[in-house]
Amino acid sequence: MGISQYIKEIGRGKEGARSLNSDQAENLMGLILDGQVSELELGAFCLAMRIKGETPAEMAGFLRAIHARLNFVQHMNVGASMAKAVVVIPSYNGARKLPLLTPLLAGLLSKAGFAVLVHGHSSEDQRVTSKALFEALNWQQIKLGDAASLNGCDIRFIDTQEISVALTHLLSLRRIIGLRNSAHSLVKLMNPVRSEMPVILLSSFTHPEYAISMGETLKITGQSALLLRGTEGEAVADPRRTPKMLGFTNGMEVPLQEATMGSVAGIELPTQIDPQTTAHFIQDVLNGKLPVPQPIEKEVQAVMALFAFIETSSLASKS
């Protein structure tokens, strides 16, 4: 079938390209995920969108196509510990300079009463990943078809390939083309969990301009999410300083945490970022042997505040 009709619109360069409406974007991504597109067209799509940039309407359409085809992780609120809600943490950038503390955030959220699913897939070889840290921590990873994917306040990691082979292929094109594409932003906005409980997405951006477009996309999709400028692209606050944190739910923006000026005093991080060293640090923090970095503690508090807002809004709508 091909997507040449869409490439003609989005591939006219930065000044001449025209954006797609949300339905066109959904159809385009559906064709890509369904394997109706040649590798040549796929490369053209990646480069065209990279040059043009995605609009929130396009992102919302892309996400609808992705969610319609995902293999969802099922959360069952059973077992010894009952969860307040499910928190989804995308983890795709990994660590390059600082220790990767996404699993620490997951552990703290679990202790605070949330089930946590971390999902990710590496498209670079030189970074420490959450998958490697889950292995070093001896925390469970789940695979497609697991009978009880996520229970109670479990912490689990799942590779994106288990959720969507086609989306993983789109991510993997970075190794060939050498550039990020739309998929690298979309995975930070998708929700691969089905639960009777509220699901809260933790999403992050690296460049400030993405704060606006990602926020607008979250408003359009109506997802419950916390958005912040993360650490090296990960959805965890930089342990050295507290970023601004915004919440979103049902198309509304909810201020949660203002950025603080200056660096946090007294923070001692590992000087090495390898999985074993980082895992040891994370365990010491979770076991109370070391203090929780203040910005990450504030992120946990922001998630709890957003959950409380969602619960209050739900009760108000029912009354």
Measure the CA–CA gap between 103 and 89, rounded to whole angstroms: 9
**4-67: CATH topology:** 1.20.970
State the DSSP code for 203: E
Instruction: Look at residue 146 in the predicted model and tell me its pLDDT.
Output: 59
Instruction: Look at residue 81 in the predicted model and tell me its pLDDT.
Output: 74
Can you tell me which residue has the tokens 């995902």? 70
Q: Cα dist. 220→61, 206, 228 in Å?
A: 10, 21, 18
Instruction: Look at residue 79 in the predicted model and tell me its pLDDT.
Output: 67
Instruction: Look at residue 315 in the predicted model and tell me its pLDDT.
Output: 63
Measure the CA–CA gap between 190 and 205, rounded to whole angstroms: 14
* Pairing assessment for the beta strands 245-249 and 252-257 based on DSSP bridges: antiparallel
3-class DSSP state of 6: helix
Amino acid at 266: G
Ordered per-residue pLDDT tens for the chain, 319 residues: 679 999 999 998 877 889 999 999 999 999 999 999 999 999 999 999 999 999 999 999 999 999 999 999 999 887 667 889 999 999 999 999 999 999 999 999 999 999 999 999 987 778 999 999 999 999 999 987 655 578 889 999 999 999 999 999 999 999 888 888 999 999 999 999 999 999 999 999 988 888 999 999 999 999 999 999 999 999 999 999 999 999 999 999 999 999 988 777 777 899 999 999 999 999 999 999 999 999 999 999 999 999 999 998 876 666 5
- The closest of 124, 99, 119 to 167, measured between CA atoms, is 119
pTM metric for this prediction: 0.94
257 DSSP β-pair partners? 245
Measure the CA–CA gap between 318 and 241, rounded to whole angstroms: 39
Dmax (CA) for the chain in angstroms is 59
**75-318: CATH topology:** Pyrimidine Nucleoside Phosphorylase; Chain A, domain 2 (3.40.1030)
DSSP letter string, 111-166: HTTEEEEEEE--S-SSSB-HHHHHHHHT--B--TT-SS-EETT-EEEEEHHHH-HH
Q: What is the dihedral of CA 75, 128, 43, 181, to 10 degrees?
A: 70
Structural tokens at position 44: 């053209």
Specify the domain boundaries for CATH 1.20.970.10 within the chain. 4-67
Can you tell me which residue has the tokens 């991080």? 269
DSSP letter string, 61-92: HHHHHHHTT--PEEEE--SSS--SEEEEEE--
Structural tokens at position 192: 């691969």
* Pairing assessment for the beta strands 225-229 and 114-120 based on DSSP bridges: unpaired
Specify the domain boundaries for CATH 3.40.1030.10 within the chain. 75-318
